[in-house]
Amino acid sequence: MEFKKRILCIGAGYVGGPTMAVIALKCPEYRIDVVDINKTRIDEWNSDNLPIFEPGLFEIVKEKRGKNLFFSTKIEENIKNADIIFVSVNTPTKSFGEGAGMASDLQYWEATAHQIVKHAKSDKIIVEKSTLPVRTAEAMERILKTQNSDIKFEVISNPEFLAEGTAVKDLLEADRVLIGSHKTKSGDKASQDIADIYRHWIPEEKIITTNLWSSELSKLIANAFLAQRISSINSISALCEKTDADISEIAHAIGSDSRIGNKFLQTSVGFGGSCFKKDILNLVYIAKSYGLYEVADYWEAVVSMNEYQKLRFVRKIVKEMFNTVAGKKITLFGFAFKANTGDTRESPAIDITKHLLDEKVKVTIHDPEALENAKSDLKGIDNNVIYEADPYKAAENANAILITTEWDQFKDLDYTKIYHSMKKPAFIFDGRNILGHKQLFEIGFNVYPTGKQQLTHFK
């Protein structure tokens, strides 16, 4: 079949894979190639066992793979043939040198820019899909102009807003698609070419076009605002535990104000995921680099509050279990950073486990999807850790259960059976407030929700 256009995506990760699968589904006249340097990942994309777990994704990949969706490691060949190149490589926090622990590590992204310039034989639109510091396109343009040739590259910013676990739905029913370009004739044309892709399924009024820098910065700010809401509600959860106010009632009361809105007000053991912390720290770094120290401090507090919430959870466990947890068995229900994903990047469960191990706790971890990732996160420090796929076995002889991920499965377990298999007094610390606390108390548990009154049998 002759394709109308060839789209290439460099980076077959959590963003590149699902995004391109949905584009392939909605744009049958385009050929979509997804490439990666990681051959194992590409082999998995070509198998029945995809490298990431996303509801609805496998069905789409199965339908389009080999028709207009192709996964390979043929980077050079595909750069040559593509009209549009999405760059969706990882941009983690820098772990070395200037800006370590704060700035974005742009080495993967820069490597792709050099690859593109080396292998391109015709004009191309380069789309920044990765989350990048504001004004990164400027640097990309400089690299793309290093080869003295007639080939023209137009750089576009098209950040991705999908959340893990709901990636397919978020892509199919996006709140908006953001496209940033230079306000020039060629910039406008490239912006329209990218908008044409999304017009296949996204209503026109949801396609927002801006200048390049607004688009790049909007992505960081969207994540910063979302994370800020979680830190705000988590900070108040601490106050609720001191005053017997109830965090769910507060979230409902304030969320009913349409100006505030009711989403992202679920208190937790802290936010995780590969992006919130990294993107806020990047924002902090950028603000500092422009001398805006008060702006930097303001946003850095969102991350500090998140660290506090994780530590506060562990301190509460130690305090309530009679200030001594050494040698006790504590079981984590949940290791993924949120439900419906196997991803554990920056999962609060990692820090919670590490704090517990420091306290010489015997930790058991149960998660429906994330046990393999948990093993690799705790590699080298997991002498006192057991990984258990069966929740009932995980709870046997435990002194306490911690709800660290909001998996639906945890709500439907037989807690009477679990209670009888545990050491007494049996504790539950619900870091996600997903369980029926009164029922658990009636079964016999001492129940410690987050931001709510504790229910205990101690006199």
What are the residues binding ligand UGA (CB under 6 A)?
131, 160-164, 223, 226, 230, 264-266, 268, 271-276, 337-338
431 binds, among ligand NAD, ligand UGA, none (CB under 5 to 8 A by kind): none
Q: How far apart are CA 190 and CA 130, in angstroms?
A: 18
Q: How far apart are CA 368 and CA 410, in angstroms?
A: 10
Closest CA to 191 of 208, 172, 213: 208
Residue 402 bridge partners (DSSP): 332, 429
User: Smaller CB distance to ligand UGA: residue 370 or 398?
Assistant: 370
Smallest gap from residue 278 Cβ to ligand UGA (A): 9
**Active-site residue, from 9, 27, 240, 275:** 275
User: Smaller CB distance to ligand NAD: residue 49 or 397?
Assistant: 49
- Rounded to a whole number of angstroms, the CA Rg of the chain reads 24
Cβ neighbour number for residue 346 with a 10 Å cutoff: 20
Residue 10 bridge partners (DSSP): 35, 87
Q: How far apart are CA 70 and CA 21, in angstroms?
A: 9
Who's near 324: CB < 8 A, 6+ residues apart? Answer: 318
Residues, the chain: 459
Do the beta carbons of residue 345 and residue 337 sit within 8 Å? Answer: yes
DSSP annotation of 98 reads: T
Smallest gap from residue 130 Cβ to ligand NAD (A): 3
Among 7, 8, 9, 14, binds ligand NAD (CB under 6 A): 14
Q: How far apart are CA 358 and CA 346, in angstroms?
A: 19
User: Smaller CB distance to ligand UGA: residue 28 or 56?
Assistant: 56
112 binds, among ligand NAD, ligand UGA, none (CB under 5 to 8 A by kind): ligand NAD
Smallest gap from residue 269 Cβ to ligand NAD (A): 19
Among 68, 78, 93, 131, binds ligand NAD (CB under 6 A): 131
111 binds, among ligand UGA, ligand NAD, none (CB under 5 to 8 A by kind): ligand NAD
User: Smaller CB distance to ligand NAD: residue 171 or 398?
Assistant: 171
89 makes contact with ligand NAD (CB under 6 A):
yes
12 binds, among ligand NAD, ligand UGA, none (CB under 5 to 8 A by kind): ligand NAD
Smallest gap from residue 236 Cβ to ligand NAD (A): 27
Largest CA distance in the chain: 81
Smallest gap from residue 344 Cβ to ligand NAD (A): 12
User: Smaller CB distance to ligand NAD: residue 69 or 240?
Assistant: 69
112 makes contact with ligand NAD (CB under 6 A):
yes
Binding flags for ligand NAD, 15-54, as an x/- string (CB under 6 A): xx------------------xxxx--x-------------
Smallest gap from residue 285 Cβ to ligand NAD (A): 15
Total residues in contact with ligand NAD, by rule CB under 6 A: 27
Among 90, 191, 234, 353, binds ligand NAD (CB under 6 A): 90
DSSP annotation of 204 reads: G
Who's near 399: CB < 8 A, 6+ residues apart? Answer: 321, 325, 328, 329, 330, 422, 423, 426, 427
Residue 363 bridge partners (DSSP): 330, 385
* Known catalytic membership, residue 275: yes
351 binds, among ligand NAD, ligand UGA, none (CB under 5 to 8 A by kind): none
300 binds, among ligand UGA, ligand NAD, none (CB under 5 to 8 A by kind): none
12 makes contact with ligand NAD (CB under 6 A):
yes
Q: How far apart are CA 434 and CA 60, in angstroms?
A: 31
Q: How far apart are CA 116 and CA 124, in angstroms?
A: 9
8 binds, among ligand NAD, ligand UGA, none (CB under 5 to 8 A by kind): none
Cα-based angle 285, 9, 284 (whole degrees, multiple of 5): 5
Do the beta carbons of residue 285 and residue 102 sit within 8 Å? Answer: yes
440 makes contact with ligand NAD (CB under 6 A):
no
Closest CA to 30 of 80, 64, 76, 57: 64
Q: How far apart are CA 38 and CA 431, in angstroms?
A: 36
Give the footprint of ligand NAD on residues 136-175 (CB under 6 A). Answer: 160, 162, 164
Do the beta carbons of residue 202 and residue 177 sit within 8 Å? Answer: yes
What is the contact surface with ligand NAD in residues (CB under 6 A)?
10-16, 35-38, 41, 75, 88-91, 108, 111-112, 130-131, 160, 162, 164, 274-275
Active-site residue numbers? 275
